[in-house]
Chain A
Amino acid sequence: MSWDPLLLTLKLALVTTVILFLLAIPLAYWLAYSRARLKPIVETLVSMPLVLPPTVLGFYFLVAFSPRNAFGGFLESQLGLELIFSFPGLVLASVLYSLPFMVHPIQAGLSSLSPSLREASYLMGNSRFRTLRRILLPNIRPALLTGIVLSFAHTVGEFGVVLMIGGNIPGRTRVASIAIYDEVEALNYGAANVYSAILFIATFLILLLVYLVNGGYLKRFWR
């Protein structure tokens, strides 16, 4: 067994989570406060990965970004972006696939804040951006933590999308979940067990941390 798949999983989850965090805040802000007619459509699209089989997403991704197609070919020849069977492709797919796990908690957090907090900030002469940074985000810290951890854990646990568009290239796209499948196929149960146990314990600890922090248990412990 090699550590590569685990490290790759960690790298993929970290990069995905960071991108998602930056992407989800403006999106969640818009979803929480906008009254645009387009909103239900966008909401639906954001939630789609929750119910759609990962293979569907992977399949369309494969079709769209294949270098044999106009769009995929353009990306590769003009921008040098190779999205199929590559790490950047995995990141892009993971961002889409884990989008609801980041957007939903943040959106719910923003909606739960009293509108008067925002209004009070505006009336004190503060811009929307400053209000977001100084008032809104600091007051939804539990939601931010939930979003970060859920997207991270969900990316770690991803299988179908990765297999469809990343394949199984050691060191490039073979993440832990794929490696487990691979080892089992090769009847290599020992290695599969090690990968599985590590993922099992790691995800347990990550989720436990969220519940401890958001439940205020740690604060009580330190006091």
Chain B
Amino acid sequence: MISCTAQKDLNASGGGIQLRLNFEIPKGTLVTLYGQSGAGKTSTLRMLAGLMTPDAGIIRVGDKIWFDAAQKINVKPQQRRIGFVFQDYALFPNMTVQQNLEYGSGRRADRQLVHTLIEMVGLRGLEKRLPSTLSGGQQQRVALARALVQKPEILLLDEPLSALDSAIRAKLQEDILRVHREFGLTTILISHDLGEIYRLSDRVMHMEAGRVVKETAADALFSDRQISGKFKFTGEVVRIEAADILFIVHVRIQNQVVKVISRASEIEGLALGDTVLVASKAFNPVLYKLG
């Protein structure tokens, strides 16, 4: 159980925000922080990791107190045993894949665990390569494996997949889910991708302007968009094309683009990049067997 009540005033560019956090996360769950940039998601992770010091509050993990402003307790990041996957991966450029992992396991390198992790995320054969020679997806896997070398109880992921294309994303989502379960971790993920959130998380915490405004189950994320449809997907508008009196809206759903014919009145207020729900109401979908 992570319980966090923390306050921090941040002077971000474009006006500061006041972080007022108050949440609990049960052990073993995978929680997603969801919200616009500037809502304080990354700062929340950094405070849990000890990389940022709250102005006031208490952070407790299990029966250990990591931070208590009143008692002046502030456990160093070195001692918190947290696995952290940074948005830029933060792989050490001067070390090979294997060295990156072994550096973390301290002087008595746990070679067996390093070996298991390399195997687990499919990096076999790349141990001697430098991070700069790896693809984005491979670097991400190194970062994930490295975060686990310390045998952490808590895994924090700051938009770990945002820079990757959708096919690799799907593979890595599986990896994240697998390590989360196999290591019995409590995982906090920052993500903007609704599909990813739905697929990975048990709970979703919505953040707005430094506060957790709503906490729901992952599938409830779509509930306010629900209609009595039989067939529906969430996607992103990638192109709007005029065709005579109608419009063709191209919607990206996972890694496919679907064209939807719309009237001018329907696309009013619709812009590129908007998240939309593609649903069919009156007809049954037809299944074709493939292969």
Stretch at the interface among B86-94, B195-203, B238-246: B86-94
Which B residues are in CB contact (< 8 Å) with A123?
49, 51, 77-78, 80, 82-84, 150
Which of A120, A125, A139 sits near B106, CB closer than 8 Å?
A125
Give the nearest-CB partner of A135 in chain B. B92
Is the C-beta of B104 less than 8 angstroms from some C-beta in chain A?
Answer: yes
B190 interface residue, CB < 8 Å from A? no
**Cross-chain pair count, CB within 8 angstroms:** 57
The docked-state distance in angstroms from the alpha carbon of A122 to that of B92 is 13
Q: Quick one: CB contact mask for B65-96 with A, threshold 8 Å, 1 for yes?
A: 00000000000111111111011101011100
A221 to chain B, nearest CB (A): 20
Contacts of B80 in A (CB 8 A): 123
Interface residues on chain A, number (Cβ under 8 Å): 16
- Check A119/B77 contact, CB under 8 A, given A125-B150, A134-B103, A139-B93: yes
Say yes or no: is B149 at the interface (Cβ < 8 Å to chain A): yes
For residues 93 through 145 of chain A, which have their beta carbon under 8 Å from a beta carbon of chain B? 114, 116-117, 119-127, 134-135, 138-139
Contacting pair B92 A117 (CB below 8 A): yes
Determine the chain B residues whose CB is within 8 A of the CB of A127 once the complex forms: 78
Which of A114, A120, A134, A139 is the most central at the interface, judged by chain B CB atoms within 10 Å of its CB? A120
Q: Is the interface of A mostly helix, strand, loop or mixed?
A: helix
Q: Which residues of A contact B93 (CB under 8 A)?
A: 139
**A116: min CB distance to chain B, Å:** 4
State how many angstroms separate the Cβ of B44 from the closest Cβ of chain A: 15
B86:A135 contact, CB within 8 angstroms: no
Instruction: Tell me the complex Cα distance, A117–B88, Å.
Output: 9
| Complex: A212 Cα to B84 Cα, angstroms | 38
Minimum Cβ distance to chain A for residue B141 (Å): 15
- A residues in contact with B78, CB < 8 Å: 122-123, 125-127
Given pairs A120-B90, A122-B76, A122-B77, 11 additional interface contacts (CB within 8 A):
A114-B88, A114-B90, A117-B90, A119-B49, A119-B51, A120-B84, A123-B78, A125-B79, A125-B104, A127-B78, A138-B94
- In order of increasing CB-CB distance, the 4 nearest A-B pairs are A124-B104, A116-B90, A120-B90, A138-B94
